[in-house]
Structure formats: C-alpha cells, structure tokens
C-alpha cells in the first residue's frame, strides 16, 4: 500500500519525505488532526512546507504510472500545517508536524449574521418605497432568518443555522472566487429552538450551540471528495452498519 503526501504540486511517498509515525485523529465537532515526525532532521532545518500554513493531502493506495505521475488511490486527509514542534537533545534531533482539518476554518472565523437593514425611503413619506441594504453583525440572534422588518422575525431551524455558519466560514473564498477548503453535504437537524443572543462567537461555537439541542448528532468531514465534504447527521438519520467483530 503506497501512502503519499502532496503539497504545492509536489507529491512523494511518505518515506521519501523522510516522514514517519503518521497518525490521523478524527473528532466530531472539532479539528481533525494529522501528525507525523521527521526523525533525524535538524531542529533548525527549513520546513519542506512553505509557507507555514500550506495545505497538504494524504493519499493511500496511489500508483506511479509510466510517466512518473501518481494516479488513483483515495484521499485520507486534507488540512493545513499549524504546528512544527522542533525537538532536540544531545544525541538526536527531529521535527514534528501537525496538520488541522477543515474545522480549523470554523474555529478561526468569527460568525456574523447578515440582515436587511432600512436605509432610506426612495419616495419621502411613502413607507412602501423603503430601501434596505444588507449589513453583517457579530452581535446578533441565532435562529433568526432574513427579514425586511424588525417586527417580522423568520425562525430558521438548527440545521439552517449550521449551514449559515458554514457559508460564512466559506465567504472569504467565495468573495475572491478561490477554491473552498470544504463543501457542505448532509445537515439533518431540523429543530426550532428559542432565539439566542450572541456576540463575537466563532462559526464553530455557533454549530456547538445548535447541536446542544441534538445531543445525538455528530459531525464529520468526508475526505474522499474534493474538497472534503462536511456532514452533520443525527443518529436516527444514519444508516445502520454491521461489523465483523473478528476484524475489529
């Protein structure tokens, strides 16, 4: 089984990168992680991943064709380098690496909700000529949808609020037509909780608040798609799987 790591247009076998001890950790409602070590690398050696937050892709079952290109296989992890702890002792040196999955973008972006706000009357004195503009606020109420009047609040479900938080995390990429770090898949919770006032919370915290109402729901990224696909599904909506105990 061939395992390769691709970064910045370069793809090599894990061993050819001089990496070992690969470990992948998957977390519901948190950052997935990939860690590995470059044993024997000097602590002051330059990282092969430049810039620091480079995106890496871990593949398995890759094949090298006659042209020297890697083909086939399955993506096992996609994320960005967030730590390079350097280790040194009198008799050995090494560099450790940690990459975070797409949840990192949810942890690092403050959520803002967009509302239609009254701007002016196109015809003075005629209320029906009101003109509204869209503005975003980090001090807002969750589970409220867009409305053109403060007296009219449109409730949205927990799932719809999660999707709104995901789209807000993706907005910087959409604004510049850049490839997104993830895509949105199945988000099944459909509860209608009370409105919640929040201020300066992250997209990840927004999702946590919604899933308080669905304690049996889990989140995960499907790394076999390009880009990885975010899913959030309650237990009742999952497909039952039978496992051979001799293989566990």
Q: How far, in Å, are 7, 237, 246 from residue 100 at the CA level?
A: 14, 28, 32
Domain limits, the chain: 3-101, 110-237
Distance from chain centroid for Cα 221: 8
> For 122-239, where are the E strands, in sequence order?
130-137, 139-142, 144-145, 154-155, 183-187, 196-199, 217-222, 229-234
Find the helix or strand (DSSP H, E) in which 161 lies: helix 158-175
**Token pair recorded at residue 33:** 């992680």
**Token pair recorded at residue 102:** 């797409």
Q: What is the dihedral of CA 223, 228, 229, 234, to 10 degrees?
A: 50
Question: Residues 184, 172: contact at Cβ < 8 Å?
Answer: no
Helix (H, G, I), strand (E, B) or coil at 106: helix
pLDDT tens for the chain, residues 1 to 248: 899 999 999 999 999 999 999 999 999 999 999 999 988 777 777 888 887 789 999 999 999 998 889 999 999 999 999 998 777 776 778 888 999 999 999 999 999 998 877 888 888 888 888 888 888 999 999 999 865 444 456 889 999 999 999 999 999 999 999 999 999 999 999 999 999 999 999 999 999 999 999 999 999 999 999 999 999 999 888 888 888 887 66
């Amino acid at each position: 089984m061939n395992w390769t790591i691709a970064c910045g247009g370069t793809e090599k076998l894990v061993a050819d990168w001089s990496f070992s001890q690969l470990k992948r950790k998957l977390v519901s409602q948190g950052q997935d992680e990939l860690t590995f070590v470059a044993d024997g690398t000097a602590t002051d050696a330059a990282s092969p991943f430049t810039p620091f937050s480079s995106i890496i892709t871990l593949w398995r079952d890759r094949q090298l064709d006659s042209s020297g290109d890697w083909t086939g296989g399955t993506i096992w992890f996609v994320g960005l380098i967030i730590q390079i702890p350097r280790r040194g002792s009198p008799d050995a040196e090494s560099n450790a690496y940690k990459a975070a999955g797409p949840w990192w973008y949810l942890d690092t972006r403050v959520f803002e909700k967009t509302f239609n706000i009254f701007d002016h009357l196109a015809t003075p004195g005629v209320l029906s000529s009101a003109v509204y503009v869209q503005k975003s606020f980090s001090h807002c109420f969750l589970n409220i949808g867009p409305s053109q009047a403060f007296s009219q609040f449109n409730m949205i479900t927990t799932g719809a609020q999660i999707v709104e938080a995901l789209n807000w995390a993706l907005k910087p990429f959409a604004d510049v037509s850049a490839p997104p770090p993830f895509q949105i898949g199945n988000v099944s919770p459909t509860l209608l909780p009370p409105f919640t006032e929040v201020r300066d919370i992250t997209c990840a915290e927004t999702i946590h608040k919604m899933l308080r109402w669905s304690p049996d729901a889990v989140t995960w990224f499907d790394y076999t798609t390009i880009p990885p696909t975010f899913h959030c599904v309650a237990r009742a909506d999952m497909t039952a799987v039978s496992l051979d105990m001799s293989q566990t």
